[in-house]
Structure 1
Amino acid sequence: MNILVILRMVPDAAGELLLTGDGLGVDREWLDFQLNDFDDHALEDAILLKEATGAKVTVIAIGEGTNRILQMAAARGADEVTALPCEEDELLSSRDLAATIVDLARTRSADLVVCGVQSSEDLFGQLAPYVGAMLDWPHISGTNRIEASGGGLHVTQERGAGVSVTYEVVLPAVLGVQTATKAPRYVSGSKLREASKTPIGKGERQASSFTQSASIEGLRIPEETGSAQQLGDDAETVAERIVAILEGNGIGRR
C-alpha cells in the first residue's frame, strides 16, 4: 500500500487578524502558522496503517513553515517528505491544490490519499472530494477510524447525532479524516533531531483546470458592540438581575 498524506499550514486562529490595505485579504506578514489539526490526524492514521501493513507513507506539505512540519512527520514514521512551493500571501485553494495532488498520486503510484476533512481555508471540506472526483476513486470524508482489512480497508464515518457507519473500501481511495483511530503521537526531541537529517524533497505545483467562479468584494473586522456580565450562581439573584436588565432596556413590567 502506498499512502499519500497531505499536510496544510494554516494561520493560527488565536492570532490577531489584520486586513491588507485594499481590504480584500488578510495581512499574513505577522501571522503565525501551524499544522491544520485535521491533517495531523490524517498523518497519524497513515502511520498506523504503515505499522499494521508495512505500507509506504509519503507526506506532502504546503504553506509557510513546512520544513519543521515535514521533519516532525519523518520523526513519526513517514518514509518520504516533500514540500510544495507556496506564495507568501497565498490562500490555499482546494480547487487549485487538487490538480497537484492528483498528479502526485499518479506519478508516485499511490493507492490511498488521506488529508484532513477540512481546514480553516477549506471549511466546506472540498479537497478530498475534488481529488477523489478527478482521480475517479471512491471518497469518504468525516472518518474517525481506519483499519486494514485484507487488501482493503474498514473505514468508519461519523454521521452526527451519535450515528456512525462502517464501509468496506477497496483501494484505491481518497479519505478525509476527521479524527484519527488513535490520538496523534508525541514526538521526542531526540527523534526530531534525528529526523532533521531527513532530506526534504521539492515538488512542483500543477496548473488547475478550474476557472475562477467567485471573487472577494471586501472584508472587514467585526466591531465590538456588546458586553457580557457574570450573573452569579444563585437562582433568585440571577432572576432578579435578568429582570432588572430587561426593564432597563424597556422590556417587561414598568
Structure 2
Amino acid sequence: MDIVVTVKMVPDLVEELEVNAEGTDLDRSVVKLRINEFDEHALEQALLLKDQHGARVTVVALDSGDVDETLFTCLAKGADRAVKVMGDFQGGVSTHTAAAVLAQVLGGIPHELILAGVQAADDRDGQLAVLLGSALRLPHVSVVTGVEPSGDKAVTVRQEYSGGVVGELEVDLPAVLGIQAAPQTPRYAPVSKVRQMMKTAKLETIEAPAVEMGAGSIVTSLARPEAAGRAEIIEGAPEEVAARLYAILADRGLLKR
C-alpha cells in the first residue's frame, strides 16, 4: 500500500507569540515553527500500517519555513520518502491554497491512502482533508482514530463520537482521511538518528504548480486576550503576610465574626 502523509508547520504554542503590526496575523518573522500535532498522529497511523501490514510511506510538506528538519525527523521515524514542495509559502497560506497545491502534487505521487491531520493549530478549520478529497474526487472521512486494512481495496476506519460512542466505516481505496489521533502516542526519533538522516538521506523537491490563491476565509483582526484581573503578590515575614491578608479579606467583607 502506498500511503501519503501531508504535514504542515505551525507556530509553536509553547513559545511567546507576537501579533504583527497590522493586527491580522502572528508576527511570522520571529515565530518558531513546529510540526502540526495532528499531522504527527497522521504519520504515526501511517507508520503503524507499515509496521503491521507493509506499506510505503511518503511525507509531503509545503516549504513554509523550518521544514527540512521536520522532514528528516519523519524519515528517522520510519517514512520512506520525503518531498518538499517549493514555493512562496513562508508567510503561510490558506487551507484552500494548500489543498489546491497538494492536490496537483499528489497527482504525480503514487497513493492509495492519503492521511492528513484533522486540523491545524493555526487555523482550526479542519478543511484540508475535505478539500483534498474533493479536488482528487476521492472518498473522505475525517475525525478518524484508527485505520485497518479491509481486504485489498478498502480500509475500516474508526471514529469516536460524544458519549464514548465509536463508529466503524468501510471506505474504498484510494481515499483521504483526516486523522484526529493515532491508536498510540506518536513515536520519538532520537536526535542522533535525525542527524544521521540529515547526512545520508535526501529530500526530494518539487516546484509548486501555479494555482489560484484562494483565501477561503480571511482573518480580519487578531489580538491578545485582555487581562480580566491581576494577582497581588504579598511578600514579607509570615506575620506581615498574615496581617496583610487579614486586612484584605476584612476590607472585602469576606470574614465572618
Q: TM-score, normalised by structure 1?
A: 0.83
Report the counterpart of residue 159 of structure 2 in structure 1: 157
CA drift of 1:87 comes to 4.0
Report the counterpart of residue 66 of structure 1 in structure 2: 67
Q: Distance in 1 between matches of 2:196 and 2:149?
A: 29
Question: Matched residue pairs, number?
Answer: 237
Q: Which amino acid aligns with 2:189?
A: V
CA drift of 1:209 comes to 4.4
2:97/2:214 contact within 8 Å kept: no
Query: Which of 148, 170, 173 is the aligned partner of 1:171?
Result: 173
1:95/1:208 contact within 8 Å kept: no
Q: Distance in 1 between matches of 2:118 and 2:231?
A: 34
3-state SS of 2:141 partner: strand
CA drift of 1:112 comes to 1.0
CA drift of 1:218 comes to 3.0
User: Could you say what the CA RMSD is over the residues aligned between the two structures, in angstroms?
Assistant: 2.6
3-state SS of 1:44 partner: helix
2:96/2:215 contact within 8 Å kept: no
Q: Distance in 1 between matches of 2:218 and 2:31?
A: 23
Q: 1:56-205 to 2 correspondence within 5 Å?
A: 56-62=56-62, 63-85=64-86, 87=88, 89-151=90-152, 152-196=154-198, 197-205=200-208
Q: Is 1:222 the equivalent of 2:225?
A: yes
CA drift of 1:219 comes to 2.7
Question: Which stretch has the larger CA shift, 53-62 or 69-78?
Answer: 53-62
Report the counterpart of residue 51 of structure 2 in structure 1: 51
3-state SS of 1:90 partner: coil
Q: Distance in 1 between matches of 2:216 and 2:78?
A: 40
Percent identity, aligned pairs only, is 35
Q: Distance in 1 between matches of 2:54 and 2:206?
A: 25
Q: TM-score, normalised by structure 2?
A: 0.83
Q: Distance in 1 between matches of 2:108 and 2:212?
A: 18
Residues 86 and 209 of structure 1, relative CA distance in 2, 3 Å threshold? closer
Q: Distance in 1 between matches of 2:140 and 2:48?
A: 20
3-state SS of 1:20 partner: coil
- The runs of 5 or more residues in structure 1 that have no matched partner are 230-240, 250-254
Residues 193 and 17 of structure 1, relative CA distance in 2, 3 Å threshold? closer
Q: Distance in 1 between matches of 2:195 and 2:13?
A: 28
CA drift of 1:43 comes to 0.4
2:61/2:83 contact within 8 Å kept: yes
3-state SS of 1:107 partner: coil
Report the counterpart of residue 239 of structure 2 in structure 1: none
